[in-house]
Amino acid sequence: MRRGREKGSSVLLLSIFAAVVGIGLYIYNSKMFEREAPVISMQNSGYWNLKTPLDMTIDDVTGLKSYKVTLVTKSQESVLYHEQFLTPKQSLNVKIEPPKSAYAMSEDEIKIVVEASDASKWNFLNGNSAISEFKLKIDKKRPLLNTIANSYKIKKGGAALVIFNAEDENLKELYIQTNFDKKFLAQPFYKKGYYISLLAWPVTESTFKATIFAKDSADNISRVNVPLFLKEANYKVSNIKISDNFLKGKIAELAEEFKETQGVSDSIKQFKIINEDVRVKNEDLIHEITSKVSDEMIDDFKINKMYPLKNAAVVAHFGDHRLYSYNEEKISESYHLGLDLASNAMAEIKPQNGGDVVFSGYNGLYGNMPIVSHGLGLYTLYGHCSSVSVNVDEKINRGSHIANTGKSGYAMGDHLHFGILIQGIEVRPAEWMDDTWIKLNVNDVIDSAKSIIDKK
């Protein structure tokens, strides 16, 4: 009997133990008893202007049961938010607005304390809790921003120069915003707090507006317009009839070269692909290469009149809007964004300004093409070359022989496609080939700005 009782007791104990283990495993693995505390995050730079809301997010596996946000200063604590949820929320986004009296605070630093509890049954049904503290420096002052000197006017398709002052201890962003979504970067100039930038009005844009934009780490923002007089310019519209000889000749030749036209046998489709898709690809590369601006301080910017081909004749102008048709039907269009110059076959190309070679290679429609950086976001491009005698990262001097004219790429005859770009935007070569324009729009602006800065 005793053995039977002992055996029965052992079975009962094992059953109880198994039940306890089972309950423990259930609790351990059940989502109801999860042990992960809420995750609190806040998008901030460590600064607050007491105007812009702070973005806070709280995430939890089980779901939030409650949260509280408290603003803590040296002298007081203010509860900004305190909510409890009947239905748990797995993710919560809160825009923390400063209290109405906050902007009058004199503290240099505050603290945001966020407390959150979830709906888990863990911790004796009390759930998991988390507390996060975010220390923020108070900065209510907007960046100091004003123009010092600038070109008087800008012509459609042309360029201008602006020099301005921007100061803030926590300056985070600084650029010149345009009405066509281009951001021109500025380079430090002459003395601390001063900046210089060339601007460009694309020939394809009907109007131009430039606004200097400054933002600090606390999201305080300042804006100042660049006061430029806008001058219209008329550019030629060319109606070009595509011939069968052209399609079966040059286009067929190029179609064999580009991967975009492989497998395409229709001549008109080949032309459209080359004139549009391949052109965009080639120009995207050019714009990427020529969009860079140094962040090193410069004291001056000297540039000589540009004329890279001696005794050359202009055979095609900048800004020419070309409309292509076949059998009286429009099939494509493009803009000619350079100046075509021609002299002798395979003539020597010698830039009148030194610089750094940033590209030297073949670029589709542009053929063999070196690009030279002259500083301040100003670049020159030389297309359709028969040969190129410079390499990337090579420094060239004024008058250096860098290439020879040719008809590589999309060219019907030997010539130079001469392009000038400012931060990735093609501009009128005629301006940079004119001593008077350079003096009025570059040299005089710089001299005026230096004189004003020196008096401060």
User: Per-residue DSSP letters for 310-341?
Assistant: TT-EEEE-TTEEEEEEETTEEEEEEEE-SEEE
8 Å CB contact between 398 and 352: yes
pLDDT of residue 34: 81
Report the DSSP beta bridge partners of residue 221.
215
pLDDT of residue 151: 98
| Domains in the chain: ranges and CATH | 36-138 (2.60.40.1940), 144-232+446-455 (2.60.40.10), 237-427 (2.70.70.10)
Which residues in 201-353 belong to E strands, given as ranges? Answer: 210-216, 221-225, 229-231, 237-241, 313-316, 320-326, 329-336, 339-342, 348-349
Q: Which amino acid appears at position 369 of this protein?
A: M
Token readout for 387 is: 């040969």
pLDDT of residue 126: 78
Token readout for 17 is: 């133990």
Strands 355-362 and 368-373, sheet pairing: antiparallel
| 84 closest CA partner among 61, 70, 111, 65 | 65
8 Å CB contact between 203 and 156: yes
8 Å CB contact between 290 and 337: no
pLDDT of residue 122: 78
pLDDT of residue 44: 86
Regions of the chain with pLDDT less than 50: 1, 23, 25-27
DSSP letter at 267 equals H
pLDDT of residue 22: 52
8 Å CB contact between 144 and 222: yes
DSSP letter at 140 equals -
Q: Which amino acid appears at position 194 of this protein?
A: Y
Q: What angle (nearest 5°) sits at the alpha carbon of residue 129, between those of residues 125 and 130? A: 175
Question: pTM, whole model, 2 decimals?
Answer: 0.87
